[in-house]
Amino acid sequence: MRSNFRIAMVLFAGVAIGAIAVEGLHAQGAKLKAYVVAESDVLDAKAQAAFIPAIRKAMAETHHGRPLYTATGRIVQIEGGSPPGSVGISEWDSLDDAVAFYKSKAYTDLIPQRDKAVKFVRRFVVEVEK
């Protein structure tokens, strides 16, 4: 009876160690999500209204970006300098995907349309910890 207990404990320990190892390997391969934050001042509201759907479509179709629909939302200053006229936030599967999109032909083709709509103050990518 005592040997059956030992065998069961060894089996349980092996399963636990295996589960921990698999979880560790899975975590190593997982990429962290990233968010792009773009601060801009609106130059032409009608041009912005035409640009936003075009950029959202390009993001989704080429590099799996997901806009958070903030570009026309209200901005309330809490601390620091004055807020920009518009803030766009988008979610990406990884920092690499976000950077690749902004270097892609799909994005660079939209730059002339963007420049008519908004003047960018700043854009950056933030990687999110799990």
Average pLDDT over residues 30-40: 91
User: Which residue is it, tokens 């809490």?
Assistant: 78
- Which residues make beta-bridge pairs with 124? 37
pLDDT tens for each residue of 94-116: 999 999 999 999 999 999 999 99
Q: Is 64 left (phi over 0), alpha (psi -120 to 50) or beta?
A: left
pLDDT in tens, 10-23: 555 455 455 455 45
Q: What is the model's pTM? A: 0.72
Please give the mean pLDDT across all residues of the chain: 83
Cα–Cα distance, 90 to 28 (Å, whole number): 24
Got the DSSP string for 35-55? Answer: EEEEEEEES-HHHHHHHHHHH
